[in-house]
Amino acid sequence: MNDNSADIVVKRLHSIGEDLKRQGKSDPEIVNELAKVGNISTSYAEQILNNIYEDANKKKQFKKHIFNGTFVTIAGLLINYLSYKFAYQSGSGTFLLIWGIVVIGIINILRGLILYRK
């Protein structure tokens, strides 16, 4: 078996495991089914199941980082704009410029995108 066919088999088993998980099967049932279908050991089937859970967790983290990063970035830009607008309307030449919040928001978005690529 070459590397490409091994990758195809692993992706197929991963897909089967995800389908079984969506159907509401228990972990032992999924492991047994993967071992039977793929003709693999139960420890390898357990590793596939662990990978499925890790992928689901990364997806959840991705969404969280993107949402939080977008919210913080927009909030930071809004605070900067409102501070400038207030200073301009009151005739003051001084306004609050908070770029740290915007940078933190952008960093969170980048973290989410890195998780998405994995």
The string over 74-96, giving b where at least 16 C-beta atoms fall within 10 Å of a residue's C-beta and e elsewhere, is: eebeeebeeeeeeeeeeeeeeee
Q: What gap in Å lies between CA 52 and CA 117, rounded to an integer? A: 16
pTM score of the predicted model: 0.65
Residues 59-108 have pLDDT tens digits of 888 889 999 999 999 999 999 999 989 988 888 878 888 889 999 999 99
Domain assignment of residue 102, given as a range: 3-117
Q: Provide the pLDDT for residue 114.
A: 87
**Number of domains present in the structure of the chain:** 1
Has residue 43 got a pLDDT over 70?
yes
Residues 95-118 have pLDDT tens digits of 888 889 999 999 999 988 887 776
